[in-house]
Amino acid sequence: MSGLKQRETEVRDLSEALTSFLEAYPSYGKTSAIDELREKDYARLDAQGHIYLDFTGASLYAESQLVRHLQLLKGNVFGNPHSLNPTSSAMTDLVERARNRVLRYFNASHNEYLAIFTQNASGALRLVGEAYPFNENARFLLTFDNHNSVNGIREFARSKRAPVTYVPVELPGMRVDEAVLERLLDEPGPGEANLLAFPAQSNFSGVQHPLDWIELAQNRGWDVILDAAAFVASNRLDLDRWKPDFVPVSFYKMFGYPTGVGCLLARREAIAKLRRPWFAGGTITVASVQGDKYYLHDSEAAFEDGTLDYLALPAVEAGLDHLCAVGLPTIHERVTCLTGWILRELADMRHSNGEPVVHIYGPLDTNMRGGTVTMNFYDPDCRFFDHRVIESAASRARISLRTGCFCNPGGGELSLGISESDLDTCFAQPQKRLTLDDFRHCIDGKSTGAVRISFGIASNFADAYRFVEFARTFADKRAGRE
Ligand SMILES: Cc1ncc(COP(=O)(O)O)c(C=O)c1O
């Protein structure tokens, strides 16, 4: 077939697939404003032929966000905030405006929540972990399925002799058995410091854990970290309705730009419990060398070490305005429709001998799940394709996706069937540090990673369709011969 004929066939197939998709998901039609936005504000995607499917890794910025930020910087002179001189106070005003905008966006009352700017969600989690009053009478409870920046808090807990317990996640849905969670919540430590951490949305499986757990835990004396980093890009988190004690977010995951700025939303009551292990420039009202004393601010400033990335903060306001202009319900609806469609297409895809091409980890419908879909590819003899092979092939097709375990080792170990005894055997090997290849060799026969795609603010049907067509190229292909 000539190049032109092939292109015509592809366009016709896409258009037919779109027609049957719209019949199955009529509410997608109500999100057409995003198609206009994509042509205008995200034109670079199609101009450069990108199929971007890593919105859980990072959202994409709209061109209009950049223009607004650049105009602000070009038209003003800004100094380091917190002085009284004119360029400084102009900047201080914008920093505080951004802070108020963040609180308003999450519907968080100023009397109840603080918005502390951090470098990213991990920085927000570290602030809590290092200052939480763990001791031998405390408990740290966390779901098996958590990002490493939440897992890492266990090291702060253990260093202060607080017991750490993982709440199991069950296959195949990768959800928690609530009876087990309740039983664990019914066993807080004898002290005042009990901390539960779970993701509002898993960055591995897309599972959305119930937000009712917040109250369930708080009623039993637990403080709650709700890791909202992967959730808030296409879901509304209303802090007037839900009252977690600590909420870490990264703004680039919500609207792509700026990077390097995140936030810890913290309940004033809960933050009063934290004991910072140090002080730094910007965090104190008074510090003395000879007097050997310091007093921390009693506001957000107590947790904002040194100089903020102040020039980036007005871009947070622009990003939140952009999300509101597009509308979270619209983004959410579009992501849900695309996710529902692709889950069915991938789950139904078969080799000629009837064996599945793809195995999806986590729920196969859109009930309580977001737009993150994680999978591995298998050949007709049920042997997996190395996720790195899939990544290379996807890159050649200009598809941006993520492979590996996405900093969520619990999700990976569970879904890939890597057991505690496999891990004990591998980590007990004589060499000091295992490389990924040593590890792969050690758990021979099992995959060490998976392939993740995710939808977001600028996704369209063509992106989903192209990935399905890409996946279909693995039908009847043999692993190890690629
Ligand atoms: C659920 C979740 N929590 C925390 C993080 C950490 O975010 P950051 O790397 O921006 O600190 C991520 C990043 O992927 C995430 O998906």
pLDDT given at position 425 = 80
- pLDDT value at 253 more than 90: yes
Test site for ligand 1: of 149, 151, 198, most ligand atoms within 8 A of the Cβ: 149
pLDDT given at position 312 = 98
Ligand 1 and 203: CB distance under 6 A: yes
DSSP 223: E
Number of residues assigned to the chain: 482
Q: Provide, rounded to the nearest whole percent, the portion of the chain with pLDDT above 70.
A: 99
pLDDT, average across residues 72-80: 98
Ligand 1 and 122: CB distance under 6 A: yes
Q: Convert the pLDDT of each residue in 105-146 to its tens digit.
A: 999 999 999 999 999 999 999 999 999 999 999 999 999 999
CA distances from residue 481 to 107, 291, 385, 393, 445 in whole angstroms, order as listed: 54, 71, 10, 13, 16
pTM of the model: 0.96
Query: Residue 287 and residue 132: Cα distance in Å, rounded?
Result: 23
Query: Residue 174 and residue 243: Cα distance in Å, rounded?
Result: 25
DSSP string, 165-178: EEEP-BTTTTB--H
Is 407 part of the annotated catalytic residue set? yes
Ligand 1 and 202: CB distance under 6 A: no
pLDDT, average across residues 34-41: 97
Mean pLDDT of the chain: 95
* Residue 105 Cα to ligand 1 middle (Å): 20
Closest C-alpha among 321, 293, 276, 323 to residue 116: 276
3-state secondary structure of 458: coil
DSSP 302: G
Shortest-distance atom of ligand 1 to CA 250: 10
* Residue 406 Cα to ligand 1 middle (Å): 9
- Distance from the Cα of residue 430 to its chain's centroid: 35
Cα Rg of the chain (Å, integer): 24
Query: CB under 8 Å to 315, separation ≥6 — which residues?
Result: 65, 68, 69, 257, 258, 261
Q: With residue 392 as reference, give the H or E element that holds it.
A: helix 387-396
The answer to whether 314 and 94 are in contact (CB under 8 A) is yes
3-state secondary structure of 387: helix
- State the number of CA atoms in the 13 A half-sphere of 71 facing the CB: 7
Test site for ligand 1: of 253, 257, 316, 369, most ligand atoms within 8 A of the Cβ: 253
pLDDT given at position 439 = 77
Reported as a pLDDT band with limits 50, 70 and 90, residue 431 is: low
pLDDT given at position 247 = 99
The answer to whether 411 and 205 are in contact (CB under 8 A) is yes
- pLDDT value at 73 more than 80: yes
**In this structure, is the dihedral angle defined by the CA atoms of residues 113, 279, 311 and 126, taken in order, positive or negative?**
negative
Q: Provide, rounded to the nearest whole percent, the portion of the chain with pLDDT above 90.
A: 89
Query: CB under 8 Å to 64, separation ≥6 — which residues?
Result: 41, 322
Ligand 1 and 121: CB distance under 6 A: yes
- pLDDT value at 441 more than 80: no
Q: Convert the pLDDT of each residue in 299-325 to its tens digit.
A: 999 999 999 999 999 999 999 999 999
The answer to whether 125 and 248 are in contact (CB under 8 A) is yes
Joined together, the tokens standing for residue 195 give 């901390």
pLDDT given at position 440 = 74
* Residue 123 Cα to ligand 1 middle (Å): 10
Ligand 1 and 209: CB distance under 6 A: no
- Out of 6-20, 101-115, 232-246, pick the least confident: 6-20
Q: Which residue has the higher pLDDT, 1 or 278?
A: 278
Kindly tell me the burial class for residue 162, based on how many C-beta atoms sit within 10 Å of its own C-beta (0-12, 13-18, 19 or more). Answer: buried
Q: Where are the beta strands (DSSP E) in 401-449?
A: 402-404
pLDDT, average across residues 390-398: 98
Crossing angle of helices 3-24 and 461-472, in 10° steps, is 120
Query: Residue 278 and residue 10: Cα distance in Å, rounded?
Result: 60
Q: Pairing relation of β-strands 194-199 and 139-143?
A: parallel
- Distance from the Cα of residue 375 to its chain's centroid: 17
Ligand 1 and 151: CB distance under 6 A: no
- Out of 110-119, 209-218, 245-254, 420-429, pick the least confident: 420-429
Query: Residue 199 and residue 231: Cα distance in Å, rounded?
Result: 8
* Residue 253 Cα to ligand 1 middle (Å): 8
Query: Residue 442 and residue 282: Cα distance in Å, rounded?
Result: 49
Ligand 1 and 227: CB distance under 6 A: yes
Choose, from 263, 337, 407, 442, the residue flagged as catalytic.
407
Query: Residue 349 and residue 454: Cα distance in Å, rounded?
Result: 19
The answer to whether 388 and 403 are in contact (CB under 8 A) is yes
pLDDT given at position 347 = 98
Ligand 1 and 146: CB distance under 6 A: no
Reported as a pLDDT band with limits 50, 70 and 90, residue 424 is: confident
DSSP string, 190-207: SSS-EEEEEESS-TTT-B
Reported as a pLDDT band with limits 50, 70 and 90, residue 480 is: confident
Reported as a pLDDT band with limits 50, 70 and 90, residue 337 is: very high
* Residue 122 Cα to ligand 1 middle (Å): 6
Query: Residue 55 and residue 253: Cα distance in Å, rounded?
Result: 7
The answer to whether 181 and 167 are in contact (CB under 8 A) is yes
Angle at 418 between CA 441 and CA 444, to 5 degrees: 20
Query: Residue 411 and residue 82: Cα distance in Å, rounded?
Result: 43
